[in-house]
A and B are shown apart, each in its own frame.
Chain A
Amino acid sequence: MIEIKNLHKHFGQFHALKGISLNVKENEIYGFIGHNGAGKSTTMNILAGLSHFEEGSCVIVGQDVTKLDKPGDLNIGFLPENPQFYPWMTAMEYLMYCSKHPNRSKAKEVIEWAGLKQHANRKIKGFSRGMKQRLGLAVALINDPKLIILDEPSSALDPEGRSEVLRLMIELKSMGKTIIFSSHILSDIERICDRIGMIANGEMIFEKSLTSLLHENVKPIYDFEFKNAVSDSLVEQIRGHKDILKADANENMLTVQLIQNELSPKPILEAVLSLDAEIMGFSLRKNNLESLFVKEVN
């Protein structure tokens, strides 16, 4: 759906993109992460045909963006980071204006999908940030594109607004759309993305599926909670296990670190269960995307 190879872009002397390559497959939600100024919006603008690049290739839905007559020929939906509308227009008028083939019933359908039915005939100048974001999603969808590019769609929203936008994005996927969205809110990415690409200082750091990324970075550490305080003898017993690298206790908590990453929890659970102590619960420690992000950037 999107194939970018070795993309370079300068703003004067500033080398904004230093050979970015990424690949987005059909009907997936691709999360594009990176810190502020990493080059996310620049890449998104190039994908939308709004910005030019000096070197590399960019093929969107089978079309080479350098051979386009105008950005609209790509037939994509695009929501910029700061969507700007005509404040004196109503939401319905704006959707009709952005339609390739203005159709009132289609506009009504899209506006209803975005949850703006009651505001369809209100002027946009009275809309909140969240409503504008939802209108932007409706505009991105009005021409029924296969690919939707969303630049920081949830960044400026409150938790409720963010959840709503993420829900709409999941719905878009269920409608068969391919979505690429950039964000620095990593919990949002973790919630809905199939694959992730990470950019830092204009360079692509990695591109992986979310499941494999999290799996690869699982820490082999288990936390056990006991009903009573963990005794020293109990800790010594666990330390003697062949698969255990380290074990520490803190009141009623026992932390066990395994030797291998890929080890099944079964032998450890059996060992702990055989102890003469009542277990209240246990959990496997995971690296979240945020700690991975910090690690990779550093």
Chain B
Amino acid sequence: MFKEIKKEWLFASRSGRLFILIMSFLFLAVLTPIMLKVLIPEIFRMQFPNLSAEDLDLMINASQLTAVGGFLSDLFELGMIIVVFTLCSVMSQEIRDNTLVFPIVSGNKFVHIIAAKITFFGAVLSALTVLAILICYGYSGILFEFEILIQDVLMAGLMQSVYFLFVIANLLMWGAILKRTLPTGFITLVIAYLTQAVGGLFDIHAYLPSGLIDFSTKLQFEFAGIASSLAVTVGLIVVMLIITQLTMKKMEYNIR
């Protein structure tokens, strides 16, 4: 499977996708503390010139906890869109453009092709999430004060990483089924935002992948809730990968 992973690395680095992901994650990580420290107070001051500094502090509640929570929230809301539309072509376009014909006739296994994609992009997104959250943690700690435990931050990063694996599995499965890039991206986004909305509405985050986002953005870790959400997410990832493999096996290739 090494050569398939190397291929994904070459694809991500040479197509500019890796650069887009790195820049987006780092931008969000640095932007959130700056927003809280500089931009939002400045906007409030311009809107309410008579507001005292104490009242302003009460209104904004700027702290490391708010900054890190805000970053994690942005990562779900904005980062998700960037991730989905950067990676929605990883499977669908390969099938549509017939670029899989040579590799599969040459003996590359479907399971290796799929595993390489989720492994590589999963690793990239996990590393970027953890790196970005540590940057946000450090930078917000410098700007405000260190008030969160680093293990909580790492835990949040880990849960976001597992959630990104769920997103990639969606992109692979819908990409294999639909064979179209934009519909794959849109359906993945709808699933992500819909589960978040449904989880919040019926208070069932603990039984949905959205629980990982909910717990991580609040930086509150309740073992039972996390465990069930984690189990459901991992289960869904496995099911989606199996469906992807079966779809690819049954598929006809080199169709005009």
Contacts and interface: CB of A to CB of B under 8 A. Distances in A.
B103 interface: yes
Contact of A99 (B4, B106, B109): B106
B207 interface: no
Given A97-B3, A97-B7, A52 B252 contact: yes
A96 B252 CA distance: 25
B106 A98 contact: yes
A256 interface: no
Interface in B124-159: none
Interface in A138-192: 139, 142-143
B108 A98 contact: yes
A76 B107 CA distance: 9
A75 to B, nearest CB: 7
Given A50-B254, A51-B254, A71 B104 contact: yes
A177 to B, nearest CB: 15
Contact of B253 (A45, A86, A88, A102): A45
A82 B256 CA distance: 9
Contact of B106 (A50, A89, A100): A100
A50 to B, nearest CB: 4
A179 to B, nearest CB: 15
A84 B104 contact: no
Contacts of B97: 84
Contacts of A100: 106-107
Given A45-B254, A96-B3, A139 B102 contact: yes
B116 to A, nearest CB: 11
Contacts of A75: 107
**What bracket does the count of chain A residues touching chain B fall in?**
35 or more
B40 interface: no
B113 to A, nearest CB: 10
Contacts of A80: 98, 101, 254
A50 B105 contact: yes
Interface of A: 41, 45, 48-52, 70-78, 80, 82-86, 88-89, 93-94, 96-100, 102, 136, 139, 142-143
Interface of B: 3-4, 6-7, 10-11, 14-15, 97-99, 101-110, 249, 252-256
Given A72-B106, A72-B109, A89-B10, 12 more contacts: A50-B104, A50-B252, A51-B252, A51-B253, A51-B254, A72-B105, A84-B98, A85-B99, A89-B7, A97-B108, A98-B108, A99-B3
